Amino acid sequence: MKYRALALTSVLLSALVPVAAHAHASGGGCATTAAKLAAPLQLSLPPEAKITSKQLAVEVDIGSDGRVRALQIDQSSGDPAVDLNARQALQGASYDPPQAGCVVYSGGLHLIYELPAPAAAQAPTPAALDPHCTPYVLAFLTPDPRDRKRTGTAVVAVELDAAGTQTAAPALRKSTGSPALDAAALRIARGGQYGFLRGSRCTPQPFTYNLELTFQ
């Protein structure tokens, strides 16, 4: 039985705020990078797959330690078995979380796999937005220089409206154990810019985003 490999054609990392805001690097020699797969991941398509779409799109919410916090199919292949295999493979994959200076934080990732042309040609139909899910968030942060002798992970609740604008002061949900780092986490969250992944089928809506910040 010969399986066909699917090509990962796009990783959409831009949000509703300027990309340049994410390119700022702080001092101390730490890199500023976007979220990505730690290694290329090929998905395979069994010959009996009954696909009806040209693309399979998946959204992944990555924690500050690289774990998958949540994952949802944004555009189905049309075959539940193919979607399930993709979900399981991507849930088990390794990811590099986004990083700004010497702070690693949580963020969203949009992955698109090209599918072979469906056996039966179908007229394309506009994809409707789904009001029952929320697209994952990209945060654009600019941490201040700090004493790197202190390390730890904080979780900060950030209240966002449908445009990704903060509607209340961030609140600490998990402490690093250091008052100084906790204060820095709140300051970073308050000064951040937030946006939803482009290409998402989910309707933007107000919600509380749990921003993870790991101070290295």
The pTM of this model reads: 0.80
pLDDT for residue 108? 94
In this structure, the dihedral spanned by the alpha carbons of residues 55, 58, 59 and 61, taken in order and rounded to 10 degrees, is -150
Query: For the chain, what percent of residues have pLDDT higher than 90?
Result: 58
With H, G, I as helix, E, B as strand and everything else as coil, classify residue 84: helix
CA–CA distance, 3 with 11 (Å, rounded to integer): 23
Mean pLDDT of 33-58: 88
Q: Is the pLDDT of residue 125 over 70?
A: no
Q: Is the pLDDT of residue 22 over 50?
A: no
Mean pLDDT of 52-73: 94
Rank 62-71, 77-86, 136-145, 146-155 by mean pLDDT and report only the highest. 62-71
